[in-house]
């Protein structure tokens, strides 16, 4: 049985083997992680699809393999033969493996291997492997003592450190390659601008009621901290449930222009990282409580920040939310990720003068900017969605538990 690289995103073409967690001859059980690979988005564990023995490693650490390519081979207890060859010697099907298909129920990461990943970024692990540096000897300066690229540079011998500093652009004329994540982001946004005929709609929304509700429900069940982002996610999910046409996605590869629609309300959440961003999918948010949304949002953000998203985090979705929070921009336009049909950008909360009841008064609010794929979403549909969302934010009630 082949262990095949799964397709985890519309832009994923290859994966790089970071390390094998098992060696040939080791027994494995269904769902047990076999190998850690780095994709264009993050690092993931490829799990065993069955009980058996890892019989052969085909792609070694540091090597790349295309999506659909075989990482290794598994011998199952029933004596199933190896993969199909060019001569047709076997009829065993090739199995595409899903990595971590379920959201974890706890915030703690139980295994020692995961603990190491939490404390070091995928880039740091790769640099350490290339330089032959034991991560246990490196002091991390990131959050929770997480080891980052600059920590590895400090741990290098002086000669290597000088070369690394030059590669980072020590002089104004230095040329350096982009990181894997930054290069993929460059390809993705360039492709978006080329293939998606997008337009944007803007609306300022008062957040007085939202802020008051947030102050009164700062903590949900089991001590889960409720954030403004969680409230925005609930409002977007409720609005999408009432306007299912916003869930349509352009279906690439069909002989004729086609669309596909998810049966659930799923929202991508843009997570800013030190060297880029990731957009994990928060699945099935319709009619969910703020406590539930806060939990799945927090867990997804944690996985994104340690560079270890699951297969479920890469599930397709029609819309994404990008909230800059207290950053310096009042409004901005976000770029639609290929495979999605819209993205909602939320600027920082700020005051503006409003008129009502013959009086002028100041109120706090945010700019909502919807970027939409005009192949699927017309101006009226987008405007109606923004209007519905604004009404939900300004006057809607919030489900806490």
Q: Which domains, and CATH codes, for the chain?
A: 2-96 (2.40.50.100), 112-177 (4.10.320.10), 197-395 (3.30.559.10)
Q: What is the pLDDT of residue 37?
A: 83
Q: What is the pLDDT of residue 159?
A: 58
Q: What is the pLDDT of residue 9?
A: 62
Average pLDDT, consecutive stretches of 10 residues, N- to C-terminus, the chain (401 residues): 74 80 89 80 78 90 84 78 34 34 40 48 75 80 77 72 50 68 86 94 96 87 90 98 95 82 94 90 96 96 88 91 91 94 96 90 95 97 98 94 86
Q: What is the pLDDT of residue 95?
A: 34
Contact 228, 256 (CB under 8 A): no
Q: What is the pLDDT of residue 11?
A: 61
What lies within 8 Å, CB to CB, of 291 at 6+ separation is 220, 221, 222, 224, 226, 400, 401
Contact 70, 3 (CB under 8 A): yes
What lies within 8 Å, CB to CB, of 146 at 6+ separation is 118, 119, 120, 121, 140, 306
């Amino acid at each position: 049985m082949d262990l095949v690289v799964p397709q985890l995103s519309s832009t994923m073409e290859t994966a790089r083997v970071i390390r094998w967690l098992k060696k040939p001859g080791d027994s494995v059980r269904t769902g047990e992680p076999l190998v850690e690979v780095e994709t264009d988005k993050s690092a993931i564990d490829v799990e065993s699809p069955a009980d058996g023995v890892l019989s052969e490693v085909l792609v070694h650490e540091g090597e790349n393999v295309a999506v659909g390519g075989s990482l290794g081979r598994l011998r199952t207890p029933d004596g199933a033969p190896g993969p199909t060859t060019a001569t047709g010697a076997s009829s065993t099907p090739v199995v595409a493996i899903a990595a971590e298909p379920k959201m974890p129920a706890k915030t703690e990461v139980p295994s020692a291997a995961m603990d190491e990943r939490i404390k070091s970024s995928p880039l740091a692990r790769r640099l350490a492997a290339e330089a032959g540096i034991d991560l246990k000897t490196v002091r991390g300066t990131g959050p929770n003592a997480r080891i980052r690229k600059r920590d590895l540079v400090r741990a290098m011998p002086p000669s290597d450190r000088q070369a690394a500093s030059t590669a980072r652009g020590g002089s104004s004329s230095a040329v350096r390659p982009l990181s894997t994540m930054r290069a993929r982001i460059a390809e993705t946004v360039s492709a978006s601008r080329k293939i998606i005929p997008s337009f944007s709609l803007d609306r300022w929304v008062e957040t007085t009621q939202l802020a008051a509700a947030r102050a009164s429900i700062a903590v949900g069940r089991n001590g889960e901290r409720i954030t403004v982002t969680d409230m925005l996610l609930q409002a977007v999910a409720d609005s999408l449930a009432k306007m299912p046409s916003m869930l349509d996605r352009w279906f690439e590869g069909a002989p004729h222009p086609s669309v596909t629609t998810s049966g659930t309300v799923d929202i991508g959440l843009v997570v800013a990282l030190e060297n880029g961003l990731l957009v994990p999918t928060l699945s099935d948010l319709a009619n969910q409580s703020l406590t539930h949304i806060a939990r799945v949002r927090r867990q997804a953000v944690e996985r994104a920040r340690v560079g270890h998203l699951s297969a479920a985090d890469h599930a397709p979705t029609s819309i994404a939310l990008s909230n800059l929070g207290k950053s310096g921009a009042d409004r901005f336009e976000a770029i639609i990720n290929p495979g999605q049909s819209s993205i909602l950008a939320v600027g920082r909360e700020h005051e503006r003068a409003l008129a009502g009841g013959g009086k002028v008064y100041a109120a706090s609010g945010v700019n909502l900017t919807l970027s939409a794929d005009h192949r699927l979403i017309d101006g009226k549909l987008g405007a109606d969605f923004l209007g519905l969302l604004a009404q939900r934010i300004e006057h809607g009630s919030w489900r806490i538990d």
